[in-house]
Structure 1
Amino acid sequence: MPRIQCPRCHRPETRCLCGLIPSLPSRTRVLVLQHPSEVNHALNTARLAALGLANAQLIVGETFEGLETLLNPPGYRACLLFPGEEAQVIQAYATDDRPWLLVVPDGTWRKARKLLHLNPVLAALPRVTLDGAPPSRYRLRKAPGPGALSTIEAITQALEVLEAPTSFQALLKPFDALIEGQIAAMGEAVYQRNHTQ
């Protein structure tokens, strides 16, 4: 018998995270473009981020209809949160008077790069990267490199820079609960054996 899912957070009803998801206002608009392979992932942090921000939108796909329009909402300037040689640290963008549209590709590094390849208008956006971010709290996946964060952590960190001194730490409450729940489900011994090396 299939487990009943919460229609909002897509977690099993017995592990619903909706009570922990805030509704945070932000001057920055966040647009998450999620690769389809991430939609049913047990640790879908992009969905939690989009639910927790009043000024956020999540769209699933590999190519996106009307992307040019999505990337140019009136009154906003768009930037892509994605590392690369031409990426500037996000702190350089924090002093701009006009609000930002922060575009965040969501998927494995390979899938995120594919989204950029399939959507040249996306790849053409100015890129920003995080500098001095705290280590990831994502204790269930091995980070591909230093400074690698989950989508929700990257969005939180970016917003804290762009909208300082406002705190967006409440966005991480459902994420922390999700991680703790996964560790509890696998059992401490299994977690210690497989994830703490």
Structure 2
Amino acid sequence: MRIHGFHHLYQFRLKQSTKPFIARGAQITRCMYCRVAESLCLCAHQPDINTRVAAMLIVSENEVFKPSNTGRLIADTIKDTSVFQWHRTEPCADMLAQLADEKYAPVLVFPATSVEEKAKVVTASSFVADDKIPLLVFIDGSWREARRIYRKSAYLQSLPMMSITPDTVSDYIMRKSENEQYLATAEVASLILQEIGEPQAANALHYWFNAFKETYLMTKSRGVADDSRPQLSLYLQWKKRFTSIEAHRT
């Protein structure tokens, strides 16, 4: 299993905490990496693919502690993912440096709702340049938190935007959103990856998200769980096909 930036931020925040973060299901003994019950741990199945894109997660105050978080699934899938804690008055210098780095083409993945925001929306072809690495920037938090972070972060408001308007609402039922039309962070990332020409990464994240959602709900369930884990089976079938195709290419 690959340890990435989200795991490091989680451990850092744990060391800083003066009191435990009490989430639903706090009595469950969870894996510290995939955050489902240890008996259902998914870590051995983490995606292992290469992409031509990078990602950045800007995480709201307590999002890193929430077992239902899906931003970590992006870091599971896109190896070049940096993860930063959001601070209103003292943005991380490393984060600002990466956004300004000439080797990247940063774009904020965020639902544009106002006229001003819609004017910043770009298409994939307009920002994906051969000589630059597309850097997909996600605000990882609830819709209310993400809006607040965007309003209070001038460095985000200066970025071009990609805005997803899905045909169907989210089926992410682990944590109810204040606005049901918005997708989970991992769902949005999967759609964006498809749009910018990364279909294998998009598929990996789609199947991985469904496997995580299924396992997370099994962790929460007080009834009889479906031990067959069909979504995990679908993910593993996809992973086997992908590995076979890659082996033939080499």
TM range (shorter): 0.7 to 0.9
Q: Deviations over 1:64-122 (max 9, x none)?
A: 31132121233211111112232326445476433311110011111112222332112
1:128-187, Cα deviation, whole Å (9 max, x unpaired): 1024455423133445143x2100111111111112554521123332123223433335
Task: Assess, with a 3 A threshold, how the Cα gap between structure 1 residues 53 and 22 changes in structure 2: closer, same or farther.
Answer: same
- My pick for the range that moved more, 160-169 or 38-47, is 160-169
Change (3 A) 1:8 1:29: same
Deviates more, 1:169-178 or 1:120-129: 169-178
Distance in 2 of aligned mates of 1:14 and 1:60: 30
CA distance in 2, matches of 1:112, 1:124: 16
> 183, 186, 189: which is aligned to 2:221?
186
Q: How many residues align?
A: 188
Q: Classify 1:127/1:113 alpha carbon distance in 2 versus 1 (closer, same or farther; 3 Å).
A: same
Q: TM-score, normalised by structure 2?
A: 0.64
8 Å contact kept, 2:84–2:92: no
Q: Could you report, residue by residue, the CA deviation over 1:50-72 in whole angstroms, capped at 9, with x for unpaired residues?
A: 12221212222334311321212
- C-alpha distance in 1 between matches for 2:176 and 2:194: 24
Match of 2:51 in 1: 26
Report if aligned partners of 2:105, 2:128 keep a CA contact under 8 Å in 1: no
Give the unaligned 5+ runs of structure 2: 1-25, 225-250
Contact 1:24 1:168 in 2 (8 A): no
Unaligned runs of 5+ in 1: 190-197
Which of 63, 69, 82 lines up with 2:110 in the alignment?
Answer: 82
Q: What residue in structure 2 maps to residue 70 of structure 1?
A: 98
Q: RMSD in angstroms over aligned alpha carbons?
A: 2.8
Which structure shows the bigger proportion of residues in helix conformation?
Answer: 2
The structure with the larger Rg is: 2
Secondary structure of residue in 1 paired with 2:100: coil
Stretch of structure 1 that moved more, 43-52 or 160-169:
160-169
Change (3 A) 1:140 1:133: same
Once residues 149 and 189 of structure 2 are traced to their aligned partners in structure 1, the CA distance between those partners, rounded to angstroms, is 18
Distance 2:223 2:203 in 1: 26
SS in 1 for 2:135: strand
Q: Percent identity?
A: 26
Residue 227 of structure 2 corresponds to which residue in structure 1?
none
SS at structure 2 position matched to 1:58: strand
CA contact (8 A) 2:55 2:137 kept: yes
Q: Distance in 1 between matches of 2:74 and 2:128?
A: 24
Give the Cα–Cα distance (whole angstroms) in 1 for the partners of residues 129 and 165 of structure 2: 18
